[in-house]
Amino acid sequence: MGELRIGMVGYAFMGEAHSQAWRTVNRVYDLPVRARMSLIAGRDKANVAAAADRLGWDEHTTDWRDLINRDDIDLVDICTPGDSHAEIACAALAAGKHVLCEKPLANTVEEARAMVAAADAARAQGVRAMCGFTYRRVPAVTFMRRLIAEGRLGELRHVRAVYLQDWITDPEFPLVWRLQKDKAGSGALGDIGAHIIDMTQFVTGQAITGLSGLTETFVTERPLPSGDGAALGAATAGASSKGPVTVDDAALFVARLSGGAVATFEATRMATGRKNGLRIEVNGAKGSLAFDLERLNELEYYDGTLPGTELGFRRILVTEPDHPYLSAWWPTGHLIGYEHGFTHQARDLLEAIGTGTDPEPSFADALGVQLVLDAVERSAGSGAWVQV
């Protein structure tokens, strides 16, 4: 079995989640390639050294270009804020490195297009590129897609998708990078709205073709964070210094899908009490499916073909060995956690690289999400219906 030498940029939340995946994936799946955690890059020398030790990387560097320049790195894993994705990814692809890039693919459509072009060029050389919409790999979500693809819901009519969090509800929460447009691109829209857009297109197999919506910033000024402000829960520098919030707190829109379904979407980080409330429901002519990330091992399925007095949503515990990705895990009824979306992503990427096939979602898929994000912002600006 060959070894795939990974170089990763970033060691915050996503860096930890990806490290866990690289550390675990070959312990639970039989794969044609073994991941080696070779090199981690981060700007702060002490921090990246500590992260390398704690997370289990062989080496560390403060310059992400080392990942590109060194011959002994086969794949670059990008876990930084969106403003650096395009530069790193394009450099890595040009250097013949496989790339896994966190979502959203980029901060602008222009950047995303450049990345797709880079991926297309690299692909001709057998180099693979993948965008990290890990929620596709929650077994219940993958299973949802499978049931829909099999036609179990019939013609699709409705999607309702929300991603509700509440971690910036407090106006005193500091102005971290995710609240700054130059770093994050957008707010709830790109951070969590991107997930429900991708998930909708993934599970339905349909594209969002047009939409109309609004965005809102409820708290327009926040305390400046002390330190580098990278963390989700960074401390503030003191009440005296505030800065403007330059992204949306919430984004809401209605949409049409290519196969005729209609949909509502809402992404917000101000839904008090909802901690990680990604919920999606799809209604078809013959049945319905509903998922909630706060109960990620469950899937609700309404099979409209059963006898009339016995109809109901049933709570499937998606922990059977025959469920997607579950062959690797514990006996029936033993739950898995959030982190294994990343493990499954690593599995699929290693499988693709090992067998010389293209992983999904591709950069083009991710550009598709970016176009929808862009359309939401245009509609919110103009008040008009916008074609994607």
32, 47, 167, 243: which one contacts its own copies (CB under 8 A)?
167
Q: Which of the stretches 172-180, 195-203, 315-323, 362-370 binds its own copies when contact is defined by CB under 8 A? A: 315-323
Number of other residues whose CB lies within 10 A of the CB of residue 1: 10
As a whole number of angstroms, the distance between CA 262 and CA 256 comes to 5
Residue 163 interacts with its own copies (CB under 8 A)? Answer: no
What part of residues 7-36 is at the interface with its own copies (CB under 8 A)?
13, 17, 19-20, 23-24, 26-27
Residue 216 interacts with its own copies (CB under 8 A)? Answer: yes
Written as one string, the DSSP assignment of 192-227 is: IIHHHHHHHHHHH---EEEEEEEEE-S--EEEPBST
- Based on CB atoms, which residue is closest to its own copies, 71 or 310? 310
What part of residues 62-91 is at the interface with its own copies (CB under 8 A)?
none
Q: How far is the CB of 291 from its own copies (least distance, A)?
A: 13
Tokens of 307: 């006898």
As a whole number of angstroms, the distance between CA 218 and CA 248 comes to 8
Q: How far is the CB of 238 from its own copies (least distance, A)?
A: 22
Residue 356 interacts with its own copies (CB under 8 A)? Answer: no
Number of other residues whose CB lies within 10 A of the CB of residue 354: 15
213, 223, 359, 361: which one contacts its own copies (CB under 8 A)?
213
What part of residues 237-296 is at the interface with its own copies (CB under 8 A)?
250, 252-254, 256, 260, 262-264, 266, 268, 270-277, 283-288, 294-296
Q: How far is the CB of 363 from its own copies (least distance, A)?
A: 26
Helix 363-382, helix 194-204: angle, nearest 10: 120
Q: How far is the CB of 232 from its own copies (least distance, A)?
A: 5
Q: Which helix (H) or strand (E) element contains residue 375?
A: helix 363-382
User: What are the phi and psi torsion angles at 101 (to 5°)?
Assistant: -120, 130
- Based on CB atoms, which residue is closest to its own copies, 185 or 287? 287
As a whole number of angstroms, the distance between CA 366 and CA 111 comes to 12
